[in-house]
Chains A and B, each alone.
Chain A
Amino acid sequence: DAGITQSPRYKITETGRQVTLMCHQTWSHSYMFWYRQDLGHGLRLIYYSAAADITDKGEVPDGYVVSRSKTENFPLTLESATRSQTSVYFCASSESGRKIETQYFGPGTRLLVL
């Protein structure tokens, strides 16, 4: 049972480059989320998706693009990476949008933008 996986686990890139972080879940969960985790901040929502081809902005969407052509995949793209996007990125999924639903998190991708 693979659950939810992220790749790469670590990435170093340079300012201005495009970077894509991958997220894959094997549960067929409807909802998927992207968060970033920075020191001194709780996890913050970047984008989320309620189903294939349905995405919406979260709290900190600027500089990021997402797509969801298949239920199981939810890639996050940094179109032109900036140093402020150095962070740990977590993908999460939940079966439905019910209030009591648990969100399951992937292992994270550590991104360093030089």
Chain B
Amino acid sequence: KNQVEQSPQSLIILEGKNCTLQCNYTVSPFSNLRWYKQDTGRGPVSLTIMTFSENTKSNGRYTATLDADTKQSSLHITASQLSDSASYICVVTDTILTGGGNKLTFGTGTQLKVEL
């Protein structure tokens, strides 16, 4: 069964500090990997999308890395802000759905809290 495992489950850091979130996946075949940010009470918002040929991709203070050989990804957040408090979800695309469109396998997320 295709799975996406994230760690840690939750994390508390001080404002201004950096942090790294981990994602391991067993999804096969692999097409691309996405990181989403989900604020409390809101829908997920895409941060990055990486294909298997990309090693790193940045979006402002967010940098995602991908090692397709070891099936691992990380999301690094630099100089954290209070507004970074959210759940960060790792999502892997494996196949195309029967009727078209991407079949996404979602991790359960890492809950990040940034404190003063």
Q: Is there an interface contact between A50 and B101, defined as CB atoms closer than 8 Å?
A: yes
Closest Cβ–Cβ distance, residue A88 to chain B (whole Å) = 9
A107 within 8 A of B: yes
Q: Which of A42, A97, A105 contacts B43 (CB 8 A)?
A: A105
Given contacts A100-B49, A103-B46, A107-B42, contact A42 B99 (CB under 8 A): no
Closest Cβ–Cβ distance, residue B112 to chain A (whole Å) = 17
Q: How many angstroms from the CA of A41 to the CA of B101 in the assembled complex?
A: 22
B31 within 8 A of A: yes
A87 within 8 A of B: no
A94 within 8 A of B: yes
Give the number of A-B contacts (CB < 8 Å): 70
Q: How many angstroms from the CA of A41 to the CA of B5 in the assembled complex?
A: 11
Residues of A within 8 A of B (CB-CB), count: 29
Q: Which of B51, B102, B108 contacts A97 (CB 8 A)?
A: B102
Q: Which of B42, B49, B100, B106 contacts A43 (CB 8 A)?
A: B106
Q: How many angstroms from the CA of A48 to the CA of B113 in the assembled complex?
A: 33
Which residues does A use to contact B, with CB under 8 Å? 31, 33, 40-45, 48-50, 54-56, 58, 90, 92, 94, 97, 99-108
Q: How many angstroms from the CA of A59 to the CA of B49 in the assembled complex?
A: 23
Q: Is there an interface contact between A105 and B45, defined as CB atoms closer than 8 Å?
A: yes
Residues of B within 8 A of A (CB-CB), count: 29
Q: Output the residue of B41, B43, B51, B104 with the most chain A CB within 10 A.
A: B43
Q: Which of B100, B104, B109 contacts A45 (CB 8 A)?
A: B104
Closest Cβ–Cβ distance, residue B11 to chain A (whole Å) = 18
B116 within 8 A of A: no
Given contacts A41-B108, A108-B42, A108-B43, contact A97 B101 (CB under 8 A): yes
Q: Is there an interface contact between A99 and B100, defined as CB atoms closer than 8 Å?
A: no
Q: How many angstroms from the CA of A45 to the CA of B101 in the assembled complex?
A: 12
Given contacts A56-B97, A56-B98, A97-B96, contact A102 B46 (CB under 8 A): yes
